[in-house]
């Protein structure tokens, strides 16, 4: 039964290798990728269900017992993230099949996409901190290829910035790993938990924790080193940006949550640091979004803005705030992917991503506008849609900790999101659009055949339905988030699962 834990990783690996065999046959690749992603959805749900019913499980790869071998742990947080990866991966796979140009597909696009999904599943499931680094590298390498495939000038420009800052983050992460291994002699997270707590050299432990925080902070696009994100995310095709925005920053947030719950303790200093940086992140991301004119840069700044909420939850570190953070994480993965898919559809309709020239979406496509509005309202957090519930938990968590500054900034963040979304609505949906010259080699949405239109909209509808479920089924999602928060506060069951007690 425990073999099931590795299945989401191995299935993606097999799928990626299988796709390599059909390197030149793009049609076969499309079919295989969509079929594979649907099967992966079933696998991830099965794993989620098993862990939900039976509790956490662990498996030792290569049968070398912990803490010497590499452990894979499926606790509730990990399997939730794996399930979200499968959902987002499915939507992006479908969207890619119908929007990505053939020239890009010919260079192994789908294979790399599934290697990326494998890396994501691996980093969620691993219980070994060095193995986490390896999965991060797999994610990084795959994302470089996805960013640069097609080699347009703006793509390469974005990729250089992305590469430079993410390598810096990886070096920080590796340095921290070196210090940690030198201090304790182990890399298994569950084993580290006790050993780090018993160390007497607290100064070095804090420096090490700070290195981890800087490394993951850059990858999560936290203030002050977030500039790489808006500079690189607008360059590649929308499908690529969608999976990046949904999962790449979130995997860093996940790593932060994992490291600062199992290995290190969020003490007074880190709590303050998290909250202050998170608050500035919310502020600068929101202000940044206000002045953008490119619709995809606009959404990129919103990603930064909302990363702050999750870090606030981690900084407060009480049960209700952690539950809010996890709920927000679940909501954010789905909604951010959907936003970028929506921006892709809008660009497909109009042929430009400049918000000053866009317009008339409401006039021309009222039904689509309603569909998009559902996601935008969820993003702001208008009750009873999905963004509302985690914010309530976070605000309650802030009040419980008597930290009214965070409460204020959570409200400010929601308000600024409302303002920027209103601006987006006015500019893109209501305003009449400028006269756009038609590109000849661009396949406009209204010229596509009906089947293809439906296929492009299908992933958007799918993710919107998931978002609506998160909003209207908040009761069950909150039960899940509270259970995860409990596991984050009391990590003893996690340690026992790994050590096989």
Q: How far is the CB of 433 from other proteins (least distance, A)?
A: 43
From candidates 1, 53, 63, 200, binder to other proteins by CB under 8 A? 63
From candidates 2, 293, 363, 476, binder to other proteins by CB under 8 A? 2
User: Contact between 156 and other proteins (CB under 8 A)?
Assistant: no
Residue nearer to other proteins on the CB measure, 113 or 229? 113
User: Contact between 61 and other proteins (CB under 8 A)?
Assistant: yes
User: Contact between 175 and other proteins (CB under 8 A)?
Assistant: no
Q: How far is the CB of 96 from other proteins (least distance, A)?
A: 20
Q: How far is the CB of 17 from other proteins (least distance, A)?
A: 5
Q: How far is the CB of 28 from other proteins (least distance, A)?
A: 14
User: Contact between 177 and other proteins (CB under 8 A)?
Assistant: no
Quick check: helix, strand or coil at residue 188? strand
User: Contact between 73 and other proteins (CB under 8 A)?
Assistant: no
Angstrom distance (rounded) from CA 25 to CA 34: 15
DSSP assigned state of 221: T
Instruction: Please name which of 223, 412, 232 lies closest in space to residue 420, comparing C-alpha atoms.
Output: 412
Kindly give the residue spans of alpha helices, DSSP state H, lying in 317-403: 319-350, 361-364, 366-380, 388-400
What is the footprint of other proteins within residues 102-131 (CB under 8 A)?
Answer: none
Stretch that binds other proteins, among 15-23, 174-182, 273-281, 310-318 (CB under 8 A): 15-23
The tokens of 444 are what? 């406009």
Supply the DSSP string of 438-460, one letter for each residue: PPTT---GGGS-HHHHHHHHHHH
DSSP assigned state of 320: H
Radius of gyration, CA atoms only, the chain: 22
Angstrom distance (rounded) from CA 397 to CA 404: 10
Quick check: helix, strand or coil at residue 149? coil
Residue nearer to other proteins on the CB measure, 8 or 246? 8
Residue nearer to other proteins on the CB measure, 66 or 307? 66
Angstrom distance (rounded) from CA 339 to CA 305: 14
Angstrom distance (rounded) from CA 441 to CA 171: 42
Count of residues that interact with other proteins, criterion CB under 8 A: 15
User: Contact between 6 and other proteins (CB under 8 A)?
Assistant: yes
Instruction: Please name which of 365, 338, 340, 339 lies closest in space to residue 350, comparing C-alpha atoms.
Output: 365
Cβ distance 330 to 471 under 8 Å? no
Q: How far is the CB of 286 from other proteins (least distance, A)?
A: 44
Cβ distance 386 to 378 under 8 Å? yes
Kindly give the residue spans of alpha helices, DSSP state H, lying in 100-201: 102-105, 109-125, 129-148, 153-184, 189-198
User: Contact between 434 and other proteins (CB under 8 A)?
Assistant: no
User: Contact between 147 and other proteins (CB under 8 A)?
Assistant: no
Q: How far is the CB of 14 from other proteins (least distance, A)?
A: 6
Instruction: Please name which of 220, 227, 300, 301 lies closest in space to residue 254, comparing C-alpha atoms.
Output: 220
From candidates 26, 28, 45, 60, binder to other proteins by CB under 8 A? 60
User: Contact between 203 and other proteins (CB under 8 A)?
Assistant: no
Instruction: Please name which of 323, 319, 343 lies closest in space to residue 421, comparing C-alpha atoms.
Output: 343
Residues paired with residue 74 on neighbouring β-strands, in sequence order:
57
Sign of the Cα pseudo-torsion (159, 160, 165, 168, in order): positive
From candidates 1, 3, 367, 446, binder to other proteins by CB under 8 A? 3
x/- letters, 19..58, toward other proteins (CB under 8 A): -xx-x-----------------------------------
From candidates 32, 59, 81, 470, binder to other proteins by CB under 8 A? 59
Answer whether the bond into residue 384 is a cis peptide, omega within 30°. Answer: yes
Residue nearer to other proteins on the CB measure, 18 or 491? 18
User: Contact between 399 and other proteins (CB under 8 A)?
Assistant: no
Stretch that binds other proteins, among 7-15, 81-89, 320-328, 378-386 (CB under 8 A): 7-15
Element (H, E) at 72: strand 70-74
Residue nearer to other proteins on the CB measure, 6 or 256? 6
From candidates 17, 167, 436, 465, binder to other proteins by CB under 8 A? 17
Footprint of other proteins (CB under 8 A): 2-3, 6, 10, 13-14, 17, 20-21, 23, 59-63
């Amino acid at each position: 039964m425990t073999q099931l834990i590795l299945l989401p990783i191995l299935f993606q690996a097999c799928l990626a290798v299988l796709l390599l065999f059909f390197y030149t046959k793009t049609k076969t690749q499309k079919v295989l990728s969509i079929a594979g992603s649907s099967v992966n959805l079933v696998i991830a749900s099965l794993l989620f269900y098993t862990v939900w019913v039976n509790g956490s499980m662990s498996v030792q790869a290569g049968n070398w017992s912990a803490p010497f071998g590499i452990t894979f742990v499926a606790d509730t947080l990990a399997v939730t993230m794996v399930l979200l990866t499968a959902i987002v991966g499915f939507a992006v796979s479908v969207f890619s099949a119908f929007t990505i140009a053939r020239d890009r597909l010919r260079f192994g696009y789908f294979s790399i996409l599934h290697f990326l999904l494998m890396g994501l599943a691996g980093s969620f499931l691993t219980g070994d901190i060095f193995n986490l680094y390896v999965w991060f590298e797999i994610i990084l390498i795959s994302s470089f290829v996805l960013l640069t495939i097609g080699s347009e000038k703006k793509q390469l420009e974005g990729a250089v910035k992305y590469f430079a800052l993410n390598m810096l983050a990886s070096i920080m992460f590796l340095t921290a790993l070196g210090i940690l291994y030198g201090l304790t002699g182990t890399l298994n997270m569950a084993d580290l938990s006790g050993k780090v707590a018993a160390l007497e050299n607290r100064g070095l432990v804090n420096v090490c924790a700070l290195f981890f925080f800087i490394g993951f902070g850059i990858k999560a696009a936290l203030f002050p080193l977030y500039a790489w994100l808006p500079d690189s995310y607008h360059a590649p095709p929308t499908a690529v940006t969608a999976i990046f925005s949904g999962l790449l920053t979130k995997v860093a947030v996940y790593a932060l949550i994992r490291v600062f719950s199992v290995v290190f303790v969020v003490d007074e200093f880190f709590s303050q640091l998290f909250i202050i940086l998170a608050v500035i992140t919310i502020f600068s991301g929101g202000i940044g979004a206000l002045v953008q004119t490119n619709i995809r840069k606009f959404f990129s700044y919103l990603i930064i803005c909302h990363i702050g909420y999750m870090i606030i939850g981690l900084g407060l570190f009480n049960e209700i705030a952690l539950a809010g953070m996890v709920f927000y994480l679940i909501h954010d993965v789905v909604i951010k992917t959907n936003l970028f898919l929506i921006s892709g559809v809008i660009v497909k309709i109009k042929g430009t991503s400049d918000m000053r020239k866009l317009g008339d979406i409401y006039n021309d496509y009222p039904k689509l506008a309603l569909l998009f509005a559902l996601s935008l309202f969820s993003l702001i957090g208008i009750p009873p849609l999905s963004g509302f519930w985690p914010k309530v938990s976070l605000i309650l968590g802030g009040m419980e900790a008597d930290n009214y500054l965070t409460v204020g900034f959570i409200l400010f963040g929601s308000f600024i999101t409302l303002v920027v979304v209103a601006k987006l609505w006015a500019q893109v949906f209501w305003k009449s659009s400028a006269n756009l010259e038609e590109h000849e080699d661009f396949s406009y949405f209204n010229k596509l055949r009906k089947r293809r239109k439906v296929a492009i909209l299908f992933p958007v509808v799918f993710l919107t339905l998931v978002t609506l479920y998160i909003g209207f089924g908040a009761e069950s999602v909150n039960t899940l988030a509270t259970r995860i928060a409990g596991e984050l506060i009391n990590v003893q069951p996690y340690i026992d699962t790994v050590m096989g007690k």
